[in-house]
Amino acid sequence: MKKLSDIEIIDSVLRGNKNDYALIVDRYKDKAFTLLKNMLKNKMEAEEALMDAFIKAFNSLSSFRKEARFSTWFYRIVFNTGASILANKKRKIELEMSSVDELHNLKSTDAETYALSENLNGYIQATIEKLPVRYAIAINLFYIDNLSLSEISEVMDISLVNAKTLLHRGRNLLRDLLIKHNYAEELL
């Protein structure tokens, strides 16, 4: 059976078949939930934000211009929903630099994270959850949601250079931790 494209589904929803929106929800719910969980570091808040983001997207579906990919437009809504929750809780994301506290926390809990992880991928996954929020978001959007750097910059409302910097810094942090644990040599 032919898989409907995002645009085809949206056109159908806009024609009045509101139930077709469930196809969009099913398609994006896991990825959006992972992004929100990495952002908010809390499962319950991520669930609330996920519902909120899907409802916001539904309500503004008629304003989607179809010039960009639907996923970019949608992740921007998801990101803004998560960001406003963080702002309300006075946990504002630092736009330019990662917080020193977050980095300190990552390094201080690293030994425990490493000891509790079953394999390398589990360790990386657990470490991402502890990365400074903006690094985690950039990594999430690049590797899980398959967004390009220019799309990431659009979603996060930052410059292309900043998007690249966030991704590189996140990767470098993970690499430094791997070197510390001699993981690279073990695997290669």
Partner 1 sequence: MKKITDETLNDYIDGRLSIKKLNEIENALKNDEELLERLRALQTVNKELRLLKTESAPFGITEKIMNKISARTKSKQRSFFVASVSAMGLLLAAALGILIYFGQNKGSDKVIFGEIFSFIKKRVPINFSFVKNFTISNDAIIAIAGFSLLLLIFFYFLLDSHKMFKDELNRFTT
Report the interface residues with partner 1, using CB under 8 A: 18-19, 21-22, 25-26, 29-34, 37, 43, 47, 50-51, 54-55, 58, 120-121, 124-125, 128, 139, 143-144, 167-168, 171-172, 174-175, 178-179, 183-185, 187-188
Q: How far apart are CA 117 and CA 123, in angstroms?
A: 5
Q: Which is nearer to partner 1, 19 or 67 (CB)?
A: 19
Q: What is the CA radius of gyration of the chain?
A: 18
Question: Closest separation between CB of residue 125 and partner 1, Å?
Answer: 6
Q: Tell me the closest approach of the beta carbon of residue 90 to partner 1, in angstroms.
A: 26
Token pair for 161: 């250079």
**Residue 46 · residue 37 · CB < 8 Å:** yes
Q: Shortest distance, CB of residue 80 to partner 1, whole angstroms?
A: 18
Closest distance of CB 67 from partner 1, Å: 25
For residues 87 and 129, which CB has a smaller minimum distance to partner 1 in the complex?
Answer: 129
Nearer to partner 1, 92 or 143 (CB): 143
Q: Is 145 exposed, middle or buried (0-12, 13-18, 19+ CB in 10 A)?
A: buried
Residues 6+ apart with CB under 8 A from 145: 31, 35, 71, 75
Residue 94 host element (H or E) = none
